[in-house]
Amino acid sequence: MKRKRAPGGGRKARSGPTSPLTFRIPADLRKRLEAEAAAKDATVSERLLWHLRRSLDREIELNRDEATRAFCFLIFELSDRLRWGAGPPPVYWERNPFVFKAFKLAVEKLLSSFEPKGEIKRPPVEEYLKEAFSQYQGIQPPWLDAVTKEWESPERAADSAVRNTVLDLAGMSSPGAIRQYFADREPALSDPKLKDMASRHIKHADQTWDGMADVRRVLGVNVQIEKPGGKRK
């Protein structure tokens, strides 16, 4: 007599994406995905999504500043020459005080070798911002004075950039939360130019959100993540 499966029995469903998408792939690619999924204790769908995200992230990186990409490549090379000092994998080199200090000094020395000569002059950032916002019917950003003060010296500009980046890492608004924010203010965004400004904010969040999540995972950063609607979980 065939045994009946108990209620709730069988393989437990994994939580994850719920939007279905059906398409065909070559048999050899499917075999490679299946082998990779088995080796990593994952599903084929999970590995496919991982590769898709990597591909999309690559497109985002290619749209970033070319000089910044070049410096990041050199910093990767520095890391390859230093991180082995912490020991063979899976040792975490970024948690080794000696190796991390050497990496920090190496990055500073590398950038110093490319530092341009000449007088250090404060850039007219307030003029840049006023010109950028002039297309939005003369809107004056309320934070203009605060941003101007942050650029009084290279040290203050650096402190501000680090602080805001760390704040984004610790709890930037999700793309869903930002979309909801602008959706709640739809009547005030009837001007096409203001809608364009909102779309820029949403696009930046889309490009940054997954990257920040990956940084939190790799570096073991524990934070509260904002859910759509402004609530935290």
The model's pTM is 0.62
Residues, the chain? 233
Q: Is residue 2 part of a domain?
A: no
pLDDT band of 76, cuts 50, 70, 90? very high
**What pLDDT is stored for residue 230 in this prediction?**
40
Of the two residues 187 and 36, the one the predictor is more confident about is: 36
* Residue 78: half-sphere exposure toward Cβ, Cα within 13 Å: 19
**Dist. CA 210–CA 216, nearest whole Å:** 10
Which residue, 212, 211, 231, is CA-closest to 221? 212
Could you list the residue range(s) of the whole structural domain that residue 70 is in?
65-114
Please indicate, yes or no, whether residues 32 and 51 belong to a single structural domain of this protein.
Answer: yes
Outline where 83-191 has alpha helix (H): 97-112, 125-134, 144-150, 154-171, 175-184
Of the two residues 42 and 183, the one the predictor is more confident about is: 42
pLDDT at 77 over 90: yes
Q: Is residue 142 part of a domain?
A: no
**Dist. CA 186–CA 195, nearest whole Å:** 9
Cα dist from 123 to 71, 119, 128, whole Å: 22, 12, 9
Q: Is residue 192 part of a domain?
A: no
The string of pLDDT tens digits covering residues 32-44 is: 888 888 887 888 8
**Residue at which a domain ends, from 114, 134, 153:** 114
Q: Is residue 90 part of a domain?
A: yes
Q: Is residue 124 part of a domain?
A: no
The string of pLDDT tens digits covering residues 205-216 is: 777 877 788 888
What's the domain count of the chain?
2
Please indicate, yes or no, whether residues 53 and 79 belong to a single structural domain of this protein.
Answer: no
pLDDT band of 170, cuts 50, 70, 90? confident
**What pLDDT is stored for residue 189 in this prediction?**
56
